[in-house]
Amino acid sequence: MIADSTTDFFERLAAEAHQPLLNSVTGTLRFDLEDGLSTDHWYVRVDKGDVEVSHDDLPADAIMRLERQVFDAMTEGRLNAVAAFLRGELALDGDVGLVISFQRLFPGPPPRGGQ
């Protein structure tokens, strides 16, 4: 598999296994990332900060459907998940609160010149 920001993001989550920013969060999320005619699934199980990542296409508490390039922008800090949702670039089914909690794991915007 070719390395990219999305794969790096999920591999880092899996390797770290515990995310302190999610200590009060329990639930499952599925990210359906569309790229042309194919859809890549990433499944994340969170149990009080403990995180497991797989490619399972299972039912989840929250499901996000979006173009792969949009998710890449989120994992690179160039796009906020809420902004993507408000612009219609991200479809969400299920627990909105879970997604809002999870978005804290995305990097912030890159610094602007000289700052």
- Which superfamily, per CATH, for 5-104? SCP2 sterol-binding domain (3.30.1050.10)
Is the pLDDT at 115 greater than 60? The verdict is: no
pLDDT of residue 113: 64
Give 113: exposed, middle or buried? Use CB within 10 Å, 0-12, 13-18, 19+: exposed
State the Cα–Cα distance between residues 37 and 62, nearest whole angstrom: 23
Q: Could you report the per-residue pLDDT of 34-89, keeping only the tens digit for each?
A: 999 999 999 999 999 999 999 999 999 999 999 999 999 999 999 988 889 999 99
pTM: 0.89
Closest CA to 63 of 95, 34, 18: 95
The confidence score (pLDDT) of residue 1 equals: 42
Q: Where are the domains of the chain?
A: 5-104
Q: So what's the pLDDT on residue 48? A: 97
Give me the half-sphere count of Cα atoms (radius 13 Å) on the Cβ side of residue 30. Answer: 16
